[in-house]
Structure 1
Amino acid sequence: MQTTLSEDARQLPRAEEAERILRSCVHCGFCNATCPTYQLLGDELDGPRGRIYLIKQVLEGNEVTRATQEHLDRCLSCRSCETTCPSGVDYHNLLDIGRAVVDAAVPRSHGQRLLREGLRSVVPNRGLFKGLVSGGQVFRAWLPDTLKAKLPRNVRPPKPRPTTRHDRQVLMLEGCVQPSLSPNTNAAAARVLDRLGISVTAIREAGCCGAVDYHLDAQAAGLERARRNIDAWWPAIESGAEAIVQTASGCGAFIKDYGHLLSSDPAYADKAAKVSALAKDLVEILRDEPLDQLGVSSDQRLAFHCPCTLQHAQRLGGAVEAILEQLGFNLTPVPDSHLCCGSAGTYSLTQPELSRQLRDNKLNALESGHPEVIATANIGCQSHLDGAGRTPVRHWIELVEAALP
């Protein structure tokens, strides 16, 4: 696509990257066919091709409007378009660049600022978030349905984790909301890895991955969280930790981008690249291990929801399904499995109507094969889908751990 950046845009730190991405787009429109919001709304400007054009206009010096901001806000950042694109357009990075420019030019309403700042204050704060969830459970009966849907239906307390005893060691990101919404997930992962001769170390100083801030108009704050995590992990990396494991694919996708996002930071570029290289979704660790020695044998009927951050961002679609089938689970077919469930980080709160439509469509697809349970690989998807009160939704590693002899 022919592009001529304005003089102001050329001063942006990522100007060359934006221009390169814009020029790679041939405007074919294949992306619209797999875009969840375009499928719902049918508006060219609510699909990737239209949003790329809007960002192009902004970077070429045209007027930035609230309508531009709304169309960019409606994007889920699911990256399904990247999987579809024949030209390899790096859409999500262009979107990040465009959103930063638009958000700097268009003030948000007072209500939107409060919502976004509130989410940034609460979600990454593990202790505060846990307190709010606990309080919500106590007063659940008196809460409106919209808030009830955000609380877990069944909180399974974590079983004890095995002690560190193996030569092979990995780090594990604990996450910010998962310890409250699904506290047994990381513990289950640790127990399964222990059976395979791998010990897990949780670095308590490592906090939120930074994605919440980064995608809520606070990119600098998100990158600062990334730097703090790198500092927290670095001594263990130097001591030989072989991987940084994530059980939440959303966190994993962002950590794998640390190297790119901090590439211009001379103090952190090399370390960030190393961390990104070591970042592994749990399935990347397990698929290379002798799983037959686990002794798992299950014929449980389940549907697997592959999160966008796993299949489109990390390009690991089919990896979890292959492991579950290898272990004997009976997977039901899921139509349109490439489409987003509508969780998308905080999207279910910032775009509730679209999010609910996407959730209900996804549940209809997942339940079409009549599974006993729905499994997934990301806490956001898990809590969002389970909040509908339909078929129970759990992290896949908990199902595997429950089937251990």
Structure 2
Amino acid sequence: MATAVETAGADAPAPRSGRRPKKNVLSDGQGGLAGLLISPTMLVILLVVGIPILLSVRESLFRRNDGIDPVTGMIAQGESFVGLQNFTDIFANPQAVPAAWGSVDRLINAFLNTTFFTVVCVVLETAIGVAMAIVMNKAFKGRGLVRASILVPWAIPTMVSAKMWGLMFDADGIVNKLAGHQTLWLADNNASQWAIVIADVWKTAPFIGLLTLAGLQTIPDEVYEAARVDGASAWQQFLRITLPMVKPALVVAVLFRTLDTMRMFDLPWGMIGPGKYYVETLSMFAYFENDAGRYGQAAAYSIVLFLYIVLVAFLFVKLLGAEVVDDPETRAIQDRRRAQRKLAKQQRLSSRAGSTVTTGSASS
């Protein structure tokens, strides 16, 4: 009986130390080294991004004094703390403007324009970029020249691109001559919105195309050969092989383009001009307030845009985060450790069951 008990005690699992397991399966105790390596980058982000955001938050809580101070009778100067009044005034004092969405508040109009440009431009850029990547991934003569040439629109500065497209969309420009119809693309109307979309898609579709091409080149040719042997059509190969395997790179490209389009400023400013409500974005609206000397209100509009971008990025990563941060190696390590934990649990249960049976037999 003593032997059975000692055997059961030897087979019993060791008591837990109380420490929680590491959440990062790839850390392996190298968190200190990782922190040291990324510290320069985090310092740059803090200086370039973090501090300006904190200053903008501080500025949004103050308002510039103007007029006559009722206490002293002197001209008020400096600024005073107003708390959240700059934010409440955004919705308490609507300014209706004529735009594509009817006579709506100027802030709502800028919000709708920003959302419209983001959705339409990113969808078109994704479709065209994927098509460009598939074409460039084929083996043909002059493929290197084609790959280099699509970088030209992306390399041109946005303001230069805006002026170039402004000349083409002019009333006497080449676009109207080719279309054979006189359209006021640069006026404040619906056509100006689509002029911005065309110019933005032309400039940034190559960005998605290049990132997608990088993902396509990681797909082995043997996969397509096996699919063709099994009788899969070109469309089936695209849906079942190309799209799933290129999805991680494509998701990153679409995320970058979404966040970049949401802060669009220079293209509509340089191409259509200021004061055009059909193309006015949140970034332009915040700039107008700042240019008018209303720094607190401008900071409030900037914070609203920042929160909007953060919300979209959070939802994007929340819904597709596994495709952004995951990879086959990480999944393999996770599966292996999950299997090891499952096996260890089964061994503990078997050990406990065997100890119970041994103890019962010895007692009998």
- Bigger radius of gyration: 2
Which protein has the bigger helix share? 2
Scaled by the length of structure 1, the TM-score of the pair is 0.21
